[in-house]
Structure 1
Amino acid sequence: MAKLPLAQLPELLNKLDQYNEEGERRSEITRAALTFALLTWVRTKELRFAKKHEFEDLDGNSPLWRIGPDRMKMHREHIVPLSMQAASLAKEMIACSQSDYVFPGQKRGVPLSENTMIYGLYRLGYHGRQTVHGFRGLASTWANEQLVEVGQPPMWIRKYHEDWVELQLAHSEENEVRGAYNAAEYLAPRRAMLQDWANFLDAMRGKTDNVAILRAA
C-alpha cells in the first residue's frame, strides 16, 4: 500500500490539519477519522464502524478501544491502548456524534462511507502516494527504526519489541506454536509506544520544540 517517506510526513500532517471540503461538519469528521487512523494504526473497516460503547476510560489514565472479533481480519478481539491525543479526539467525536457511530456518515444511523477517507487523501494531493492502509506502514517503519543505546560496552537494541508492533497492527502470529502460547496483550508497552508516536506526530507538525523527538525519526 502506498506510503510516503517519513521525511514527507510534516507536509501531510499540516495539510490534514487544514483539510476542508464542502460542508464544515463533513470536513471535521473526515479530518478526525484520518487523524485517528494515523494515531491508532487500525484498518479502515475497524475505524469506520467504531461505536461509542467500545471506548473505555477516556478521562482516566488507561484509555482504550475494544474492537470486537466480528470486525477484525483475524476474528479476534483487538484492544487498542490510546495515547492522550487519541483519547482526546475520541472523546470529542463521541460528544459531537448524534449516532452510535463515533465517525458517522452523511445519513443518520450509518457509519462513515467506505471511500470517505481515501478520497480525503486524494483531495489533499496524495493520490497514488499515500493510502489510509499505508498509515500502518508509516507507523511500523517508524517503530521498527527506533533504537536505544544500552550496556557497557554500548550496544544498540530495538526500542519497541517486534511483538508490540505486530500486536498493535493486529497481525497474525505466523508461528502457530508461538501464537498459541503468546496470549499477552502488552498493553503497557504498547500504550507507551503509541504515546511516543503521537508525540512524534505533534513534533512533526511543529506543535512542540522537543528536538529529541524529531531526531528519533
Structure 2
Amino acid sequence: MTREAWLDRLAGVALPGQPVVVDGGANKGNVAARILEVLPGAGLHAFEPQPRLARKLAKRFAGDPRVTIHALALGETADTLTLSVLSRPTLSSLLPPSGIHDKYAGQALAVMDSFAVPVARLDAVLSRADVVKLDLQGYELPALRGAAGLLGGVSAVVAEMALAYPLYAGQALLPEVEAYLAEFGLALDGMYDFYRDSESRIVSGDAVFLRQGAGRSGRPVSRPDR
C-alpha cells in the first residue's frame, strides 16, 4: 500500500493534541486510515458524496469513535450538483473531465454514470478544523471557499493540485489556490507525489500549505520537494 509522501511532512506540523482533521474526498478510507496512524489523537471528518463509498466508509470505521462520516460533497455553497462517475472511479468529479484525458493518455476514462449529490460548505458543517486534506478532482478551490469561516484557524491544508493545465473544466491551477490561501495566512510549504503525463509534463502534485509557526513539532520530517 502506497504511503503519501506528504504524510511525513504532516507528522512534523505543530498541532493541538487532539486535532480536527478533514478528509475531503475520502473514497474508500485508505488515506484516512494513514492520517490516523500519523495523528492517532485526531478526530477525523471524512466527506464522501458517493453513497456506495460513504456506506463502505461507515462500515470500515464503525468501531472507531475518532471518525465521523459525512455523505456530502464540499463546495462554495449549499446545493445539489451532478457528480460524473468515470470508469476509473477515483477520478469522478463535480466538474466535466477535460485535461484528465491527457494526464492518463491511452486509458479509457468514459463517464459511466452521473447522479445528483448534496453539497455543503465545510464551515457550515464544522466549527473548527486544524488540518484540511482535499482530493476533489478539480473542485478544491470551491471547497476552500466554502471553508472560509474556518481557514483562519487551520494550521495545514493538503490539496491535490493541477499544475500544467486544468484536468477538469473550470479547475483552478496552483497559483490561484495559493493566492486564495495566502489571504488566510497559509503559504505553500512543499509539493509531493508529482505526476507526469505522456509528454513528460508535470501535470499534478500534492501541495502542502502551512500557517507560519506551524512548521515544526519537534518530530523528524523529510525535506519537502520545492
TM-score strictly above 0.5: no
TM-score by length of 2: 0.29
Q: Which has the larger radius of gyration?
A: 1
Between structures 1 and 2, the one with greater helix share = 1
